[in-house]
Amino acid sequence: MAAEPEDLKLGTLLTYFGVASDQDIKRALVLSKHTGLPVGKCLVMLDFCTNEVIRASIEAQSMIKDGLLDAEAAREAMGVVHRKRWTLSDALIVLGVDAYATRGTRLGELLLSAEHVNPLQVDLALKASDGSGLPLGRVLVLLSKLSEPSLDLALNLQRDVRFGRIDRSIAVEQLRKEKLHIPVEGRDGDKDDKRVRIGELLIASHLLSAAEVQSAVEMAKANDKMMGEVLIEMGWVSQELLTAALRLQEMVWSGGVSVYRASSALKHIDKSGLTAEEGLEKAGLKPSEFQKQVSFCDFLRLSGYLNKDSMKNIVQMVMGNPELIAAVMKHARKEGNVSKDYLREAIKLSFKNTELLGFLLRHSRPDDRALIDSAMIMHELLKSGKLTLDQAVVNFTIRQNGLEFEQ
C-alpha cells in the first residue's frame, strides 16, 4: 500500500495516483508559473497526461476533499482510468465503491443552492472550464457571472464546510444573505461594450459623476483640448489613473474585457494607489512577457484544439497533399533550416509559423475555418497584450464548443 499523500494538491495526487512523475510535475509547475494556467492544463500540453486523466484526477481530488472517497480507493480507481481510459465514475462502479451517497461541496453546487446561478449557467460554465482547463470559479469571473470578491467569499465558505467548521446548510444560507454580485454588463468580449467612451468608463467606475463628465466634454470642446487633458487640469483624475483608464478602454474596444471588469479594475487602482501597470497586473489584465511569446501552435494546444495525436494526423495529411507539401517546403527553404529532402522536418517547422499553420489547418479541417480565424485573432490579441492567456483560452474555448451564455 502506498503512503498517504502529503497534501491534496493536484500535483501531489497525480504522483500518488501513479499517473505522473515528480519530474513531470516540476516541469509543469514551471510552465504554470509562466503562463498562469493550471498545472493540469500544462501537463496535458507537455504530453505528460491526457485530458481525460486530468479531468478524472480533479474529480477524485474534489471527492476526497468532500470526504466522499478515501485516497487509497481513489488511487485504485485512477489506476483503472489510466490503464483502460475509463471515466472515474465507471471505474468506481467496477471497483464497487459507493462514492455518491451524499452531496458534495463543489463550488457549482453551493452557488446553485444559494440561487446565485441557474443550472444552465453552471452547465455551460463547466463545459467552458472543462475545455479550457481553468477552474470553474475563474471561468465564472472571466464570463462576468461572478465578481472577484463574490468568488473569494464562496471559496472561503466552501473551504470552511470541507474542514467541518460550518455546516453546508449554514454556508448556503450565508451565501444567500450576502447577495453575491453577479454582473449584468456581459462577459469579456461582448460586442456591445466595444465603443465605450473614456467618460462612460469613469462613470461606471464611480470615479466621476455624469455631470462632471459632461462638464469636461464641454470644456474640452470650447478650449480645443482632449478630454483627458481637461480631466487632469481640473484635478479630477491623476495622470496615472488616466493612463490606466485609457489602457482599459483599449482592452474593452479590442473585445477582450467587459466594461464591468474594466470599471472594477479602475476603481481598485484608484482606491489602492497602485500604478497602472501594477493595478492591471493585480487584476489579472496584464499578460506576462512569457504569455505574449506563446506560439500559435502552443495556444491551440493549451486550448485543447490540438494535441499530440491530432498533430500527427496533420503531418500525415500534409505528406499526402502535393499543394501542402509545396507550401511547407517553400517555407523550409526560406528559413534555411532543413534540406528539401527532409519533408517531415519541414512540416514540423511549419508548426512554428502562425500563418502557415493556419493555412494547413484550414485545408485539413475545412469545416473549422471560421474557428481557426477566431483562434488567430485571439492569439494576436494575446501577443499584443490586449488579452491575458486565460482570457484568450476561455474565449476561444467558448467558440470552439459553440457555447452561448445568456446575458
* pLDDT for 186: 45
- Best mean pLDDT range from 127-131, 208-212, 329-333, 395-399: 208-212
Higher pLDDT pick, 146 / 64: 64
* pLDDT for 185: 44
Q: 196 — alpha (psi -120 to 50), left (phi > 0) or beta?
A: beta
* pLDDT for 300: 92
* pLDDT for 189: 46
Domain boundary among 178, 208, 240: 178
Q: What's the number of domains the chain is made of?
A: 4
> Are both 298 and 279 inside the same structural domain?
no
* pLDDT for 6: 79
* pLDDT for 54: 92
> Are both 224 and 242 inside the same structural domain?
yes
Q: Is 396 a member of any domain?
A: no
> Are both 255 and 342 inside the same structural domain?
no
How many Cα atoms within 13 Å fall on the side-chain side of residue 113?
18
Residue 383 in this model has a pLDDT that exceeds 90: no
Distance CA 294, CA 44 (A): 16
Q: Is 260 a member of any domain?
A: yes
Higher pLDDT pick, 62 / 255: 62
Q: Is 101 a member of any domain?
A: no
The closest of 174, 150, 151, 149 to 161, measured between CA atoms, is: 174
> Are both 305 and 233 inside the same structural domain?
no
> Are both 69 and 128 inside the same structural domain?
no
Domain boundary among 233, 258, 286: 286
Tens-place pLDDT, residues 317-355? 888 888 888 888 887 777 665 554 567 777 777 888 899
Domain boundary among 62, 94, 126: 94
Quick one: cell of 174?
A: 450565508
Residue 118 in this model has a pLDDT that exceeds 60: yes
> Are both 281 and 197 inside the same structural domain?
yes
Domain range for 149: 107-178
Average pLDDT, the chain: 82
Tens-place pLDDT, residues 181-234? 554 444 444 444 456 788 888 998 889 988 898 898 888 888 877 788 888 888
Mean pLDDT of the region 90-117: 78
Tens-place pLDDT, residues 226-267? 788 888 888 898 888 888 888 788 777 766 677 877 888 888
> Are both 89 and 118 inside the same structural domain?
no
> Are both 82 and 38 inside the same structural domain?
yes
Q: Is 394 a member of any domain?
A: no
The single-letter DSSP state of residue 117 is S
Q: Is 407 a member of any domain?
A: no
Q: Is 401 a member of any domain?
A: no
Residue 286 in this model has a pLDDT that exceeds 80: no
Q: How many CB atoms lie within 10 A of CB 273?
A: 11
> Are both 120 and 82 inside the same structural domain?
no
Q: Is 398 a member of any domain?
A: no
Q: Is 310 a member of any domain?
A: yes
* pLDDT for 278: 78
Contacts (Cβ under 8 Å, ≥6 apart) of 397: 128, 131, 132, 303, 304, 403
> Are both 200 and 165 inside the same structural domain?
no
> Are both 296 and 282 inside the same structural domain?
no
Specify the residue for cell string 501513479.
Answer: 18
> Are both 212 and 275 inside the same structural domain?
yes
Residue type (1 letter), 54? I
Residue 84 in this model has a pLDDT that exceeds 70: yes
C-alpha pair distances (Å), 79 with each of 56, 145, 209: 11, 36, 60
Residue 374 in this model has a pLDDT that exceeds 80: yes
pTM of the model: 0.62
The closest of 66, 62, 68 to 13, measured between CA atoms, is: 62
- H helical segments located in 37-118: 39-45, 51-65, 71-84, 88-94, 107-113
